[in-house]
A and B are shown apart, each in its own frame.
Chain A
Amino acid sequence: AQRVTQPEKLLSVFKGAPVELKCNYSYSGSPELFWYVQYSRQRLQLLLRHISRESIKGFTADLNKGETSFHLKKPFAQEEDSAMYYCALIFGNEKLTFGTGTRLTIIP
């Protein structure tokens, strides 16, 4: 069965420092991977998806098939990055599977 693991429930980073939110998955095929974000008092929304290979709000995520990881990174954290981040995986027409989330707090 497909599974997504986000090992850190909470992560605090100083403003201006690099950010890395970890995501590991277990699936033998080639899944599609996503990062979703929920800012305070806002809806959960898509941040970025693997297939697009784009950088959103300075965040990037590279799929590492060898390590089965899809870590989310940003070189310089900003206060507005404080939010709840969820990694998610889907394969074929299966349902989207979310990790348990990481709450990121940027310390001014």
Chain B
Amino acid sequence: GAGVSQSPSNKVTEKGKDVELRCDPISGHTALYWYRQSLGQGLEFLIYFQGNSAPDKSGLPSDRFSAERTGGSVSTLTIQRTQQEDSAVYLCASSPERGWETQYFGPGTRLLVL
């Protein structure tokens, strides 16, 4: 079946604009993660959705970042008033019912804030 998909694959925006990044997890996967991957910072956890539980937002770097997961499937990561330091690759991953199962990653969205 199809793997995790993300859109857009690349996004260039101007400082101060809002952006929305989309993630389509593997069908049936209840766990969904967002990460940020940047040079020198490795893989930075942002937010974790597990089923109907309240999301773990402990990794969001500021209140400009938010994420939703509608109907337990598609997720959208929103960055408001983007800053140049937000430039990075944003990765989404999903896994089956339990968090310790293998995570399957999407191809990422490369965000460049000018």
A residues bordering B, Cβ < 8 Å?
6, 9, 32, 34, 36, 43-46, 49, 86, 90, 92-101
Contact = CB atoms under 8 A, between A and B. Distances in A.
Contacts of B23: none
A95 B105 contact: no
Contact of B99 (A6, A44, A93, A99): A93
Interface residues of B, number: 22
A6 B40 CA distance: 13
Contacts of A45: 105
Given A43-B106, A44-B105, A49-B102, A95 B33 contact: yes
Contact of B43 (A34, A46, A86): A86
Interface in B1-57: 3, 33, 35, 40-43, 45, 48, 50, 56
B42 A95 contact: no
Contact of A95 (B56, B106, B107): B56
A35 to B, nearest CB: 12
